Amino acid sequence: MTWTVPVEAFWQAHLQAPAFYSEWITATLSAAAPDVPEQATAWDLYGGAGVFAAALTEALPGAQVACVDVASSATTAGRDALEGRPVSFIAGDVAASFGKLDTLTGTEPRNPFAVVLDPPRTGAGRKILTEVTTRAPEHILHIGCDPATAARDAADLCAAGYRPESVVVADAFGLTHHVEVLVHYVRDVAPGDR
């Protein structure tokens, strides 16, 4: 699969990062969720050109995937690259897109089975994480490019009834002190049991 992305659009900083993160998403979900529910949905939030949306289609065969990012040329590149796959693109702010995500596959809201979050360095933040966790996905895969904000997001996810199942640290910013933190969270308690 090939993406043609304009120079001003976001792409991962490290040349091998898109493949490494996509393989992590695919392997993690394939192992953790061998039986995908019928009519499953998955979300790729802060999805840019949809690289992780593509990984979700590999990991969750038959799932309808939604990719959300600010309206940009990256969204157009993603639509072009993933034409023919069950991926819908929502161009806009993630915080303002939850209503569209809820009814993406029809008029009745459908909670996602899995959510990939690849927020900016500031992290996803409590408002976004509350929107995600109230929909009770079984799996949340968080890709944090700042360990401090990833830790803040981790505290919010744990408080909402999720627990980290696995953690991978990737040196994606060579010759700097920055690392990416990839965490697979699973729902530990039912939403009504918190």
The per-residue pLDDT for range 45-70, each reduced to its tens digit, is 998 878 899 999 999 998 999 999 88
| Candidate list 132, 145, 157, 160, residue with the active-site label | 145
Q: Which amino acid is at 13?
A: A
pTM score of the predicted model: 0.88
Element (H, E) at 57: helix 51-59
pLDDT at 138 over 90: yes
Short-list 105, 75, 108, 88, CA closest to 6 = 75
Centre a 10 Å sphere on the Cβ of residue 193 and count the other Cβ atoms it contains.
7
Active site residue 145: yes
Element (H, E) at 74: helix 73-81
Given 3-state DSSP classes, what are the helix, strand and coil percentages for the chain, each rounded to the nearest 5?
A: 35, 20, 45
Of 3-7, 32-36, 127-131, where does the model show the most confidence? Answer: 127-131
Per-residue confidence band for 87, with pLDDT thresholds at 50, 70 and 90: very high
Cβ-based neighbours of 3, under 8 Å, separated by 6 or more: 49, 51, 77, 78, 80, 81
Share of the chain above pLDDT 90, in %: 53
pLDDT 10s digits, 160-177: 999 999 999 988 777 777
Mean pLDDT of the chain: 86
pLDDT at 73 over 80: no
Q: How far apart are CA 147 and CA 112, in angstroms?
A: 26
**156 CA to centre of own chain:** 16
> Within 13 Å of residue 103, how many CA atoms lie on the same side as its CB?
4
pLDDT at 35 over 80: no
Among 73-77, 93-97, 157-161, the minimum mean pLDDT is found in: 73-77
User: Which domains are present in the chain?
Assistant: 44-189 (3.40.50.150)
Cβ-based neighbours of 108, under 8 Å, separated by 6 or more: none
pLDDT of 14 = 55
- 72-88: string of b/e by CB count within 10 Å (b at 16+)? bebbbbbbebbeeebbb
